[in-house]
Amino acid sequence: MVKVSMESSPYFQLACPSDVYHIVPPGASAPVRIRFTPDENKNYSHEITCITAKEKIVVPIRAIFARAILDFPAQVEFSECPVKYTTQKILLVRNVGNRTAHYQLSTQSPFSVVPTSGILGAGDAMRVTVRFHALTNGDYYGSLVVCCNPDEESIQIKLHGDAVELDIVLSTNSVEAGKTFITKSHQTTVVIKNKSNITAHFQWKALPTDEDDNEEKRRQSLFLHPSDEDWLENFMEEKEVEKEQGFCEDHTTLLRSRVQEIKAKAQKDPLLFSNDFFFIEPMEGEIGPHCSAKIKVTFEPLEALEYGSVAYCNISGAAPLPCFSPSQ
């Protein structure tokens, strides 16, 4: 015995009377017909309740007028991509639904997506660029979250990236300048060999990894905060000027703006190798596939001492390559 009921609604009605028991023999089924009568183009929802001797089952009813459907693939795969190198895939995405999509796209590092939001009409298409940029080799998994409209469910596209190191090497990992007189200089050449199929970008850095760079920038940022004494002195100066002239510029805002500018500039600093005795030229550049680049290392001593330093060659497609430069 199953009692079928539905709350009163101007849009949904049971074809049979509500709160009526139906006899359903073992192994058999019984149809329940619902009449839907909309009065405008929109989404509708209701529910039907089925009660047996042992349980109560609530069945949601959804009448969907229109929805946006973006035909993303189920998964985006990045196979054997160079580390520290941006690999991208362009997807042609169409709105196969019957409603305009006010979409938002989001993902997580080392994946990124462009555009992140916009409007796509029903039947229209757009290009979506998904990028993969890993700093170390290994497998990476993520998801691309697609939200079309506030009243529609989001979907997730699987992302997988495989980051590998390419065959990019230095001709030597140690530069020996040898004995050099004061006020004189000694030059040595190091060759970067790119045996891969990509154009590699290189930079001579002071620190080995991007994590070290970020930590150093955070450390520098702490010293950019004006002290309490600076804020107090600035405030007292403003009050003194205001007392004498009747008005005063907002120097506190100017000070805060100046600090923000310095911080932004510090964040963009690539932290390239810098030394008073060793000079590298060029400090950065590009090397085409299966090509080489000659790097000139110059040693200029100021005193009769033994000198040594380490520069890290940060190359897209390879781990940082240290070059140790001892001289005397």
Mean predicted lDDT score pLDDT of the chain = 85
According to the model, what pLDDT value does residue 240 have?
A: 62
pLDDT of residue 328: 47
| pLDDT, tens digit (0-9, with 9 covering 90-100), for 136-195 | 889 999 999 999 988 788 999 999 999 999 888 888 888 887 778 888 888 889 999 999
Q: Cβ(28)–Cβ(48) under 8 Å?
A: no
Total residues found in the chain within this entry = 328
- Whether residue 108 is predicted with pLDDT greater than 70 in this model: the reply is yes
Instruction: Give the tens place of pLDDT for each residue, 260-315.
Output: 776 667 667 788 898 888 999 999 999 999 999 999 999 988 888 888 888 888 88
pLDDT at 223: 63
| Other CB atoms within 10 Å distance of the CB of residue 60 | 8
Q: What is the pLDDT of residue 15?
A: 86
Confidence check: pLDDT of 8 > 80: yes
What angle, 0 to 180 degrees and rounded to 10, lies between the N-to-C axes of helices 228-245 and 251-268? 140
The gap from C-alpha 71 to its chain's centroid, in whole angstroms, comes to 23
Q: Taking the complete model, does pTM exceed 0.85, yes or no?
A: no
> In this structure, are residues 147 and 104 in contact, taking their beta carbons and an 8 Å threshold?
yes
Report the DSSP beta bridge partners of residue 169: 193
What share of the chain has pLDDT > 90, as a percent? 42
What is the amino acid identity at position 18?
Answer: S
Burial of 263 (0-12, 13-18, 19+ CB in 10 A): middle
Q: pLDDT for 32-54, tens place per residue?
A: 899 999 988 788 899 999 999 88
Among 173, 161, 75, smallest CA distance to 111 is for 161
Q: How many helices (H) and strands (E) does the chain have?
A: 3, 22
Beta bridge partners of 279: 298
Closest CA to 292 of 171, 166, 164, 165: 171
Q: For the residues of 131-183, what is the DSSP string, one character each?
A: EE--SSSEEEEEEEEEE--TTS--EEEEEEEEEE--SEEES-SB-------TT
Distances (CA, A) of 308 to 39, 133, 176, 305, 323: 83, 34, 10, 10, 11
Question: Per-residue pLDDT averaged across 94-101, rounded?
Answer: 92
Is 231's pLDDT higher than 60? no
Tokens of 326: 């001892």
- The proportion of the chain whose per-residue pLDDT surpasses 70, expressed as a percent, equals 84
Q: What is the pLDDT of residue 232?
A: 54
